[in-house]
Amino acid sequence: MRGIHDEGSERIPSGCAISSIFSKSGKPINGERIIHSMAPMHDRSNGLGGGFAGYGIYPQHKDDYAFHVFYDHSKAQNACESFLKERFCFAASEQIPTRKLSAITQEPISMRYFLRPLYRRMEDLQLDESEYVARCVLHINAQIDGAYVFSSGKNMGVFKAVGFPEDVGRYYRLEEYEGYCWTAHGRYPTNTPGWWGGAHPFALLDTTVVHNGEISSYDANRRTIEMFGYACTLKTDTEAITYIIDYLTRKCGLTLSETAGVIAAPFWSTITAMPEPARSQAAYLRHAFSSLLITGPFSIIVGFTGGLMALNDRLKLRSMVVGEKGDMVYIASEECAIRAIEPEPDRIWSPAGGQPVIITLDKSCQGGDHHGL
């Protein structure tokens, strides 16, 4: 089995599929629906990676951090569990439920833990809760050989593997889960081989990213984000995107719209033509975070507690469409993925390059000041 940190040793041609379903009223959506949405885009991936993220899927543990962890071997599991027991209180620990499928092979040890930080230790380090948990995740992924925390948020979880997304969904028995939001990815690697850790979504805390494209600014983005305490150990551009979004929103306090204005910043010619105060704000973001501008073709869907953000590169070099039906919102690489689960949407449209689509739960479901559909 390819090791967790062996990404980046060969080149394979590219293409990917992304999809998402969101209920603004918080209505539970069975995981089977997101699997069905990926089926029409089967040929956009090649079996080297598929994955899903679900939000609202662990109501019985909604106040616990749900860590999903891959291990290459039992030595890594023992080391990781010892590390966690020194820093967290365990509410539950178990193997992630799966079913045997001939299409899914070379499975690592897959565990999930429902955890609460040991607050005395957290206070001794003078860290807030999210920073404490994030540092623990980054330490495991960088320092414990053969261990990889691939999901670490509250009341949400990532499920990914080497395989076509339809098989990955069945492997993880997603029909047994319900959540108000699902995202999905079918991988066709661009520069890196297929392995379990390299499948999407990538995640840190409750932020998840699925991504179609290739980031030409990866080295500059990686060097910058690593200056702020992140360790890009997986050698994939999507990992860097995930950390950039976490840094801008959680550490810098930027809104999602402002974050989009950094990673898919307008051209200077566009900025100079803007009216005030938009011109000054856009110019500030470009100057202040210039090395976090993501260049190259991409479409991404960012999941977070209570919402989604979809974003294309500023030239819209990758396809992405949005569908709406009542309180439901669908986003996918192709319209066929939306119509597979909603044959008669009220509206289908394509976002402009660099313009974020931000969707959040209704205020009756969750407080907050996000703006969206």
Q: Which domains does the chain have, with CATH numbers?
A: 17-213+297-360 (3.60.20.10)
pLDDT value of position 7: 46
The closest of 302, 303, 339, 304 to 322, measured between CA atoms, is 339
The closest of 227, 258, 266 to 243, measured between CA atoms, is 227
Give pLDDT tens digits for 200-225. Answer: 999 999 999 999 988 899 999 999 99
pLDDT value of position 373: 58
Phi-psi region of 91 (alpha: psi -120 to 50; beta: other; left: phi over 0): alpha
pTM metric for this prediction? 0.92
pLDDT value of position 44: 87
Q: Is 16 assigned a catalytic role?
A: yes
Please check whether residue 186 is in contact with residue 116, taking contact to mean a CB–CB distance below 8 angstroms: no
Selecting among 16, 80, 136, 181, the annotated active-site residue is 16
Below-50 pLDDT ranges, the chain? 1-2, 5, 7-14, 367-372
